[in-house]
A and B are shown apart, each in its own frame.
Chain A
Amino acid sequence: MSNKEPILSLIDVKFEHKLRSGRTLPIFNNINLSVHYTEFLGIVGPSGCGKTTLLRIMAGLVRPTSGRVIFRGEELTEPNPRISLMYQNPTLIPWLSIWDNVYLAISSRKEMSEIEKREKTSLFIDLVGLSGYESAYPAELSGGMKQRVALARALVTSPDLLLLDEPFSNLDPLTAINLIREVENMWLDASLPPASIVMVSHSIEEVVQLADRVLVLKGRPAEIIAELRVELERPRNRKSDEFYRYVDEIFTLVS
């Protein structure tokens, strides 16, 4: 497959909520976008503009009211194991150990042997810096550690596409910055999955730190009002003037 082809594209995607009264509330009309291979796409927008819904549509968890979602050349109609989603909350299963939580994600895979599954589980727990915590339970971990487990669980499936739904917004600022840096390092390591990442966020700094390309979503129903490339050397310096020029530019667009 040529890398010029997008890994995922939304074509004329429209979504509306059905209200109790029977009326419909349009969330967004005719969204068209593409996610390319080896691209980190950021989507910013104010709270409640439908970012999360858009991400769920990309994950195949929610069907759009109309329009098509194309993933690797085929229409996406249900969740695909090659797409991982990481939520704002860790959503770990409380009665499973850290190891079992990560393992669960690949437990139903038929093409992998049991040994492979175990090795991968250990590998990714190690990768997010939690080796030694395998037998702990989610309640015994801090918020940042829980989100790391969620990250390991999202990566263990070796996804082609990783979808991040404000993964740092429930962490304290210090933990968030550390985790963002680690995600960036992981992203730079070409040997690791995924091929592409889409992250939605309302934090402009986060998006400028990580994304190659930023889409600004706004309005009701929401539409993509702007698109810009972040041409900054990685790892990016949060304190540099260029960094803040991007932040300011996007801020003006969003507000």
Chain B
Amino acid sequence: MAIDGLIEIATALSFSWLRLGVALLLSIAMSLLVGIPAGLSRTVERIVLPILDVLQSVPILGFFPIAVYFFIALNPVLGPELASIFLIFTSTYWNMAFSVYEAVRAIPSELTDISRIIDLSLSRRLSKIIIPAALPRIVSQLPPSIANGLYFLTASEIISFGERQISVIGVGSIISKYVSSGDASGLIISVIALSLSIALVFTLIINPLIAWSDKYKFETVVAPGRPSAMVRIEPFRRILTTLKTRIPPISIHVQFPSTFVYVSHMARHVQRFILIVAISTATIIVLTLSTSYITDVPKIIINVYSVIGDLGFMVIFSSVIMSFGRIFAAIILSLSWSLPVAYFIAKNERARTSFLPLIQVIASIPAPIFFPLIADAFLSTSGYAELGSILLIVLGTQWYVFYSILGGFLRIPNEYRELSLSYRLSRLKELFMIFIPFAMPSLVTGLITATGGAWNTLVIAERLVLGDLVFETSMPGLGKLLSQFTELGSIYGIAVIVFLMTIIVVAFNRFVWRPLYDWATKMVRS
């Protein structure tokens, strides 16, 4: 590889990071702008939360074609660049917005009272109380946001829509170029360069930021028994707690749930669900309208209808089932390695100090690095394409699962660990009677985030496009459909699939995860 090859990679790297940086700054600004009012005012909260809930459920790549249309129409030269930044933004924003909202809500009421008594002006309240309170949460959301942004690195830099394919300068597009031209050395060097740059960004920027933001935390309770280990796990623990608080728990103050309570509880879910469907329908119609210059509503309905008609219900139905199946398999795979490893690490003080840093290093390897490998090993052989697809989903979900379990295990009060020691419980008994039930709330939260992420990865996992090469599952899938519609440039097709996915994700959250989370938190309350 010649010098200009290296220069090319370096340029691509700086462009990618610049884009990610701009997107992150935008995310921070927007999350403050939305999260603070939502945290301060009940009215704003009631409007903003369902909207955020829907938008975060919309598959990220679903936004993309629509955004490309919009931005290219806005400015043909800068359009692709803006569209790319917008996509990265959508993959880094939601967790941040929720955490700012949570942080503002969590400001101790005493502090609010005091600021009222000493009559602080709004600007002083913002600068002295509210923003500092939100800071640690924002900072702790940086690692997952960056990881998410990196997962869609390639997808965000190669913009294909119908016949048009525009790529912006970046590592993602360069990796894709090397893959399609079969340039192995170029691929390896750019992958190494990317990994190094990630390590550099974390050690020079993110980790110091996390350490710095520590002083803004309200509570700094460290378990007295094992300070060193807790400190090491702290950043991840914080991510997990913030993830955890993303789902505002609905507390039921009734000891014995009667049928009535259950029914009214479900009724509330149904109510919110209908509201969310309405909002998402409106959002997608508005997005479609604003980007396709069509103000003719009947025409939209006819087009949507013809998309559904062309696909046929069987295809749609089997796509939903297959996608579900793949996600389910990916979650099971993630769980099956996460549970024993997390248990081992939680039980073993020494493993925590030696094993955990290793896992953190592995976890920080950006997923796109594995794309060519998986494509080569599994996807190109038709028999293993399904397995490859599931592995691609695992890449995007496993760390949520693992860290939520580990976080849950490590938060088990010391006394309970000692109980099982004193009573000489077998490992299996300890794992299933003490560890897993205790970690349930955290585990459910992890599963919510993981499945949410899994739906997003489908677009890549079911139909991986690397340069000119396309690796796809033989069986149908929603992600595959979405990817195909994107390639065809069918805005109505995209809208239908995105809408379908959103409904599924939101419905699943309402009717499966939320009740499960409530049950789990109730169970561990003594």
Q: Name A residues whose Cβ lies closer than 8 Å to a Cβ of B.
A: 17-20, 56, 59, 61, 78-79, 81, 83-85, 87, 89-96, 104-108, 138-140, 146, 157
Contact = CB atoms under 8 A, between A and B. Distances in A.
Contacts of A106: 423
Contacts of A140: 255
A95 B437 contact: yes
Q: Contact size class for B? A: 20 to 34
B423 A105 contact: yes
B416 interface: yes
Contacts, number: 70
A92 B228 CA distance: 27
B526 A94 contact: yes
A20 B426 CA distance: 33
16 contacts: A18-B228, A20-B231, A79-B418, A79-B421, A79-B424, A83-B422, A91-B413, A91-B419, A93-B434, A95-B523, A104-B419, A104-B423, A107-B423, A107-B425, A138-B526, A139-B526
B525 A108 contact: no
B415 interface: yes
Q: Main secondary structure on chain A at its contact with chain B?
A: loop
B222 to A, nearest CB: 9
A139 B525 CA distance: 7
A108 B419 contact: no
Contacts of B231: 20
B433 interface: yes
Nearest to B423: A105
A61 B422 contact: yes
Nearest to A106: B423
A61 B416 contact: no
Given A91-B415, A92-B526, A85 B433 contact: no
Q: Which of B227, B418, B425, B434 has the most CB of A within 10 A?
A: B418
B117 to A, nearest CB: 33
Nearest to A96: B433
B443 to A, nearest CB: 14
Q: Main secondary structure on chain B at its contact with chain A?
A: helix
Contacts of A139: 255, 525-526
Given A18-B227, A95-B523, A157-B423, 7 more contacts: A78-B421, A89-B415, A91-B413, A93-B419, A93-B437, A105-B423, A139-B525
A140 to B, nearest CB: 6
Contacts of B434: 93
Contacts of B227: 17-20
B265 interface: no
A157 B424 CA distance: 12
Interface string B407-445: 000000101101101111110010001100100000000
B524 interface: yes
Contacts of A107: 423, 425, 429
Nearest to A59: B422
Contact of A94 (B228, B424, B425, B523): B523
B524 A94 contact: yes
A220 B87 CA distance: 58
Nearest to B231: A20
A70 to B, nearest CB: 19
A93 B421 contact: no
A93 B255 contact: no
Nearest to A90: B526
B219 to A, nearest CB: 18
Contacts of A84: 422
The list of the 7 closest CB pairs from A to B, nearest first, reads A94-B526, A91-B415, A138-B526, A79-B422, A108-B424, A79-B421, A95-B523
A81 B416 contact: no
Interface string B227-270: 11001000000000000000000000001000000000000000
A74 B524 CA distance: 38
B437 to A, nearest CB: 5
A104 B424 contact: no
B424 A81 contact: yes
A79 B415 CA distance: 13
A56 B225 CA distance: 11
B422 A93 contact: no
B291 to A, nearest CB: 51
Contacts of A96: 433
Contacts of B424: 79, 81, 108
Given A19-B227, A89-B415, A108-B429, A95 B423 contact: no
A220 to B, nearest CB: 15
Interface in B157-213: none
A85 B425 contact: no
B524 A95 contact: yes
B432 to A, nearest CB: 11
Nearest to A17: B227
A94 B422 contact: no
Contacts of A83: 422
A115 to B, nearest CB: 19
B433 A104 contact: yes
A138 B425 CA distance: 21
A89 B433 CA distance: 20
Given A20-B228, A139-B255, A140-B255, A85 B423 contact: no
